[in-house]
Amino acid sequence: MTTDPIASALPLAAAAGAALQAVIFDVDGTLADTERDGHRRAFNQAFAQCGVDWHWSVSAYGELLAVTGGKERLRHFATRHATELLRRRGGDAWLADLHQRKNEIYRQLLGAGTIGLRPGVARLLGDLRGAGVRLAIATTTTRSNLDSLLLSSFGDDSRTLFEVIGAGDVVTDKKPAPAIYHWVLQRLRLPPVACLAVEDSRPGFLAAHAAGVPTLITINAYSADTDCSGALSVVSDLGEPGVPARCLGGQPLNDDGYVDLAQLRRWHRTAASEAQRSPTSVLAAH
């Protein structure tokens, strides 16, 4: 008889009072504002280089973000707006080549230093790591794109910063399905109640929520009007000392105006207390 790692971790979490043990981060729009001036620009440059008369405006790309995953987004657009072109160019094989070219351009943008981390990200990651809180990633972006972003942002530390990385096609069902969170939780060997997720969008929030992971939302230009009712808190960004973030919903932010480990622990304790009153939520990822 095999033992489920999440189920076996539940007694440990209960004994520890469901203390915050790991923080799971989304990437695009959460760690960095990669969508509008990163992925979108790279798509448009790839279209031009490949002789395709497509251009995704800022607003059009915002609508396309409802489809998670770059390959999936590209296929969604082509099958709805360019079926004849898709047939002539070779279908999925051509889309795969186009997406690969886009990724090459995206990594060039990262290497040029044009895409930086969002406010408070580097500070919070350093605080969490220094305190022994485990770090993980749950994203639909490809592993190669993720590695490029981490290397450009953290240098050699990028290789050891995150203990578990769930990226790209490690699962079939993309967000808002909870599969990527289940995958990460299993490798952390932790129940959802021992973790906290940081996301920026409704699909990401729905994925984490369905997996039972309490979630902080840091909105961006594309997700400013997103309904994330049920999130621990919704903030404009993580903030910095002297450059406060704005709390837009959910539990309030501390008077200092930035998200730190103490703030995450306070929010997490509230979620853990609610989970104890509703034990089935702890088992959401089982």
**What are the catalytic residues?**
26, 28
Q: Which amino acid is at 69?
A: G
3-state secondary structure at position 165: strand
Q: What is the dihedral of CA 159, 223, 272, 22, to 10 degrees?
A: 0
Distances in Å between the Cα of 49 and the Cα atoms of 5, 81, 101 are 48, 19, 9
Separation of alpha carbons 275 and 74, rounded Å: 39
3-state secondary structure at position 25: strand
Q: What is the torsional sign of CA 27, 44, 85, 77?
A: positive
Q: Which amino acid is at 259?
A: V
Separation of alpha carbons 77 and 55, rounded Å: 11
Separation of alpha carbons 234 and 76, rounded Å: 29
Helix (H) or strand (E) holding 85: helix 83-89
3-state secondary structure at position 61: helix
Residue 216 CB neighbours (<10 A): 28
Using CB atoms within 10 Å of the CB of residue 200, give its burial: 0 to 12 exposed, 13 to 18 middle, 19+ buried: buried
Residues facing 136 on adjacent strands: 24, 164
Token couple for 164: 């578990």
